[in-house]
Amino acid sequence: MENIIELKKYYSSKEFLENYIYEGNDLGVECNENGTTFKLWSPGAKSVVLNFYEAGDGCKAYEQIPMEKEDKGVWSFHSHKELHKVYYDYLIKRDSKEVLTADPYAKASGVNGIRSMAVNLKKTDPKGWENDKAPQKDKERVVYELHVKEFSFAKSGGFPPEYRKKYKAFTCKHTTLNNDGIHPTGLDYLKELGVTHIQIMPMYDYGSVDETKDYEFNWGYDPVNYNVPEGSYATDAFHGEVRITEMKEMIQSIHEAGFGVIMDVVYNHTYSLDSWFQRTLPWYFYRVFSDGKVSDGSACGNDVASERAMCSKYILESVLYWAREYHIDGFRFDLMGLLDTDLMNNIRKELDIIYGKGEKIIYGEPWSATDTAIEYNKKLANKYNIALLDENIGVFCDNTRDAIKGSALRIREAGFVNGGKDKEDDILASISAWCDPKYNKEFKGVKAPSQIVTYVSAHDNQTLWDKLDYTVTEEEAMRLNKLAAAIYMTCQGTLFFLSGEEFCRTKAGHDNTYNMPISVNMLDWRLAYKNKDLVDYYKGLIALRKQISGLCDKSENSYKHITDMWKQKQVVGFSVNSDKDSLWSQVKVIYNASKKDFEVKSLDGDFEVLCDGNDSMLWKKNISAKAPIKVGKQSVLILGKKRIEEI
């Protein structure tokens, strides 16, 4: 205990900060046709030996090379050979003890990540990779969250058996339901749905699945090698280059299909405290309370110390690496509330410099499980410090989520749509993404809708359908699913939803299915056509939203597009004013969560019906709206004022 406390003090000392903060960006391995260089940061080590292996597991080292000690705690070795696909690890001697470790800076590894691999990354590029890029921007960003294995596991998806659960499933063209040739699945289905970005749950190398066992399942929030793709998603987990190429092929295919790719990253903790971080420099990369107790704000056994210089540098360089090498278009930060605001703003700044302001998407969970032992008076990137974050760093808005459907943590607690009381004010605040000071009493400091991710379901907690199943009758559930979708899709902010939400995805009521069988977690593609009416409703809402510029605007004063806000018990209404690029100069929206029809008695202008509780494609049918007009029970009504052509 005392040793941990002393180390904590030492890492903050003037001596350590002056002598061991390395500013180079070349840690890890650089391998090309001119040679291979290995660099490891391990201050205080007495010696470091580099071991070479012919395979990623088993077998003894065929060569052991003492590394040279350089300045700032760096150890290095250079070979004139191109050591592509050579496996390696390090034997570190410190305080008369020896420890064997993989390379925390590795970009490739063998099976289960236990040994690192040198890799010439150019040799992992699929054909045409140099021309790969994200598709052109759509009118709006709509994010669809999925998991590599869940996406293609079900036989009904029509994916080739050898590619099911793999990166390669995303490269399969024109898959259909049970190979019927009629009903699209996979990327074709998502294209028809209208989403613009695919957020993929953890796909770096994680520790909770044995890569030698194809049947194991986990969400993957257990980082082992931050800069290495997960091997269980590859067709070959034993040869480290395969997973790299196949992940690139997946991203290339997703881009070609017209979607951006957002990577779910987990920099707040590691799979185990016995990590490569800990083995290369004990306790530097982890938070510890002043009494020596290990910080566990992640509820996963440890918290990464993002506020320390070399840890912050590691995370920043890792994000930049994924963006550069894998052409990742955005990052979703798990438990972002455990990272510090300076780090997050620096990541935003560097991505903006390289790719253009706001081009790469950044958002995260603005919370943690419990308190964390952050140092140096740094501020956490949680919802209460949102005013300290760049306007292009978004947060998942649990206020909106819970206002619409009820608490995600208390399953039988209802929200606005399913009978909850006194939710109207929160719905009004949600409409402007909590930016309108007249209605925002709960979520202070929001700068613009660009900071708000508007959603009602994600991989955590019950699916929307399961939540409704707990709180309403089966007969009401479908109506209320449509109403919930209509509400969040007519709020400002960035739209996000869980894969399958649009076809009544269920996990049999389970809350946290992170390690449950894939049969519970898989996407059942049959539901997409069994519940086609709901899928079509989502399609219409997404397409309609893209036509309403006042909702898509993410700028600071965009809440001013929202006018005429009003409420009564279980009913909320407002208007959206849009620019000349929209089909309608004004859109009126009414949410009726009551069990009775609501009547709109008058309309101030020439309106048409765009959407009601049954059909979200009415805006394509030129149906005039005449007052009085009814809003059906537990449903929405959206009206558009026809734009008068300028002469």
Active site residues: 334, 365
The burial of 388, by beta-carbon neighbours within 10 Å (0-12 exposed, 13-18 middle, 19 or more buried), is given as middle
d(CA 281, CA 293): 18
**Would you give the DSSP letter of residue 518?**
H
Cα–Cα distance between 569 and 583 in angstroms, integer?
31
Which residues, other chains included, contact 19 with Cβ-Cβ below 8 Å and sequence gap of 6+? 43, 72, 73
The answer to whether the beta carbons of residues 592 and 632 sit under 8 Å apart is yes
> Which is nearest to 405 in space by CA: 490, 336, 337, 464?
464
| DSSP per residue, 489-514 | TTSSSEEEEETTGGGT---TT-S--T
The most distant pair of C-alpha atoms in the chain lies apart, rounded to whole Å, by: 86
Q: Directed axis angle between helix 424-431 and helix 474-488, to 10°?
A: 40
Amino acid at 456: V
Q: Give every CB contact of residue 532 below 8 A, 6+ residues apart in sequence.
A: 503
| 9-16 long-range contacts, CB within 8 A, separation 24+ | 11/283, 11/284, 11/308, 12/375, 12/376, 16/43
Q: Where are the alpha helices (DSSP H) in 12-84?
A: 14-19
Query: How many Å apart are CA 227 and CA 237, to the nearest integer?
Result: 16
